[in-house]
């Protein structure tokens, strides 16, 4: 499984045949014009927004990563550690007459940090915050969140002369009411 790395990810082979992670220069989450959008400007209804709000208000998480939690790509100027997230799938169960109304969304969160211990600390704080969570934020109901998988890895940040950074990717399933 490839790691969703900081600032996007592309897997490539080095000239010596070893696997390495190369990440293209990322621009962050861009809205209108060229400015970065904030979480308050994300007005759509989704379970990802609920979990973003849960993470940025959890002291255990923000004490490690602050509010540096980004959809898909982290801005190139982001300090370590930070978290990126991406939706990896959705399953809508059908009944005889219509959709069930409680889809399961799969989301990957990737922590990127300068040290393995810092990556683990952030990932463990996220697990304690999200695994088993259920609640309502801004009229969006999340029934349950379940951690399904976790992978340790490394990434080479785009435009960086630094050694590879450590990463932990967590895969969650989220059941929510549309």
Residue 103 has pLDDT above 90, yes or no: no
| Per-residue confidence band for 42, with pLDDT thresholds at 50, 70 and 90 | low
Q: So what's the pLDDT on residue 41?
A: 53
Average pLDDT over the chain, rounded to whole? Answer: 79
CB 112 within 8 A of CB 120: no
| Residue carrying structure tokens 């930070």 | 82
Residue 2 has pLDDT above 70, yes or no: no
Q: Which CATH number is correct for 10-177, 3.40.50.300, 3.40.50.880, 1.10.20.60, 3.30.2000.30?
A: 3.30.2000.30
Least confident of 9-18, 55-64, 129-138: 9-18
Residue 177 has pLDDT above 60, yes or no: yes
Q: How far apart are CA 68 and CA 81, in angstroms?
A: 8
Domain ranges of the chain: 10-177
pLDDT tens profile 108-158: 999 999 999 999 999 999 999 999 999 988 888 999 999 999 999 999 887
DSSP for 17-68 reads S-EEEE-PPP--SB-STTSBPPGGG--S--HHHHHHHHHHT-HHHHHHHTT-
Predicted structure pTM score: 0.74
Mean pLDDT for the stretch of residues 18-37: 37
């Amino acid at each position: 499984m490839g790691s969703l790395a900081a600032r996007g990810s592309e897997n490539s082979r080095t000239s010596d045949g070893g696997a390495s992670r190369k990440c293209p220069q990322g621009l962050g989450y861009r809205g209108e014009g060229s400015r970065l959008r904030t979480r308050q400007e994300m007005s759509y209804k989704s379970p990802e927004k609920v979990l973003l709000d849960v993470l940025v208000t959890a002291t255990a998480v923000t004490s490690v990563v602050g509010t540096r939690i980004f959809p898909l790509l982290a801005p190139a100027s982001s300090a370590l550690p930070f978290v990126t997230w991406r939706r990896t799938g959705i399953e809508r169960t059908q009944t005889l007459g219509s959709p069930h109304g409680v889809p399961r969304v799969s989301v990957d969160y990737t922590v990127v940090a300068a040290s393995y211990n810092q990556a683990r600390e952030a990932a463990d704080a996220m697990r304690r915050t999200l695994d088993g969570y259920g609640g309502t934020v801004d009229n969006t109901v999340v029934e349950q969140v379940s951690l399904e998988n976790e992978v340790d890895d490394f990434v080479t940040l785009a435009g960086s002369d630094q050694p590879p950074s450590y990463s932990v990717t967590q895969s969650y399933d989220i059941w929510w009411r549309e």
